[in-house]
Amino acid sequence: MFDLILSNALLKGRRVDVAVQGSRFAAVEPAGTLAQAGTRERLDCSHFLLRPPFYNTHTHQAMTLLRGIDDDCALMDWLTREIWPREARLTPNTVYAGTRLAILEGLKSGCVAFNDMYFHQPAVIRAATEMGVRARIGLMYMDQVSDHIENDATLALRDALPPTIGLSIAPHALYTTSPELLRRVAAQAESLGLPLHIHAAETTAETAIAKERFGFDSPLAYLDFCGILRPGTILAHCCHATEADLALIAERGCFVAHCPQSNQKLASGVFPWAKAAAAGVRITIGTDGAASNNGLSMIAEAKAAALSAKLGAGAPDALRFADLDRAVTEEAAAALGFPNAGRIVPGADADFILVDLETPVFAGGGDPDANFIYAADSSCVDTVACAGRLLMRGHQVPGEADILAAARTASATLLTP
């Protein structure tokens, strides 16, 4: 007896029946094969494209509450003048409300996982656990002391976390952390067996700081000196990574979380995807926070990544769809510590989305999977599942009205002068 059978779904150009047992895919067979199989629930997927979901590898979830603040501002001015003063008002309740809003927005566009670097982390864990998504939550480090950073309380929860939630060591950036702090957290990551997550080479100002303050030609060379570039480290942005930096990133076994829309909106720079791929860098995609994007749609982010790569390299084949698709699914899942997710095969974690093929963007020809990323939007995502649990059905997530109301109230506390 299976828990769920998806009947006659379109998967990579062929019609299949897919069985789910517990949190795993139990079978993927030609359509009709499981027509008589016993199951607790059966979904007719004749009008659906079946895909792995998205995995967002860099974000600050609760920044949904700060969306649209000073949209036309450079990064450092934006942080110091608009964002950090408002973040000083954060509470666990506001972070919980903002994170739930971000998870809801992610689910609407088919995303089931996020890599978070933000404050009041136990509240983030609570939101992710309650809503059933995967997450990696950062123990955050900055030079300035903040009552909002709850690293000890977060680490104390480690042994009780469900398998869908992991932790990382997340120093913010080289411009907010001293060399001593970076070396200390690198040693902590080693001792605790946790991966690292940091902003890196995002802007030209960061490159200047690396040279003038620390005496290194690039932010990445400096971070490597401090022990941050380790296997599994997620480096967010890397717009200004040189060819030497890219070779170093690949050699160290790090991942890059490319955030094209945030980079474009803040005029931070263009990540050199083609050069990074040629160097052997493992590339994934993140949205960054909603205050600098301003959306959290991984559909839009994936398309932006493709366009950015093609334009940056001056070549339409600089990023092929198959590589883009892998970057937002199985490669991203592996980067977040879920190597069994991101694929629809027997034995893999049962994460999936159902995309409505009865919408205008699928009425013509072409590859439906490519059309989903290049032409569709979140209105096409009908159903979302994570670890075998249906989190959205018929475009609806349980408790949506309450999530929206709580987020509006929380946002008002941060935006009121």
Distances (CA, A) of 7 to 18, 32, 155, 206: 7, 7, 42, 51
Q: How many CB atoms lie within 10 A of CB 77?
A: 10
Structure tokens at 125: 């864990």
Closest CA relative to residue 354, chosen from 323, 380, 322, 333? 380
If you ran DSSP here, which 8-state letter would residue 210 be given? Answer: H
| Residues 218/232, Cβ–Cβ less than 8 Å | no
Residue 97 phi/psi, 5-degree rounding, is -65, -45
Sign of CA dihedral 212, 214, 218, 220: negative
| Residues 262/292, Cβ–Cβ less than 8 Å | yes
Give dist(CA 12, CA 356) in Å, integer.
Answer: 15
| Residues 173/208, Cβ–Cβ less than 8 Å | no
| pLDDT tens, residue by residue, 203-260 | 999 999 999 999 999 999 999 999 999 999 999 999 999 999 999 999 999 999 999 9
Q: What is the pLDDT of residue 292?
A: 87
| Residues 58/286, Cβ–Cβ less than 8 Å | yes
Give dist(CA 25, CA 342) in Å, integer.
Answer: 12
* pLDDT < 70 stretches in the chain: 417
Q: What is the pLDDT of residue 417?
A: 64
Structure tokens at 404: 């929206």
Q: What is the pLDDT of residue 242?
A: 97
Q: What is the pLDDT of residue 311?
A: 95
| Residues 90/140, Cβ–Cβ less than 8 Å | no
Give dist(CA 75, CA 201) in Å, integer.
Answer: 13
For tokens 């998870």, name the residue.
103
Q: How many CB atoms lie within 10 A of CB 80?
A: 10
Structure tokens at 306: 């493709």
| pLDDT tens, residue by residue, 340-387 | 999 999 999 999 999 999 999 999 989 999 999 999 999 999 999 999
DSSP letter string, 216-260: -SSHHHHHHHTT---TT-EEEE-TT--HHHHHHHHHHT-EEEE-H
Give dist(CA 71, CA 76) in Å, integer.
Answer: 13
Which domains are delineated in the chain? 4-52+348-394 (2.30.40.10), 54-335 (3.20.20.140)
Structure tokens at 249: 């990133």
Give dist(CA 86, CA 391) in Å, integer.
Answer: 32
| Residues 89/413, Cβ–Cβ less than 8 Å | yes
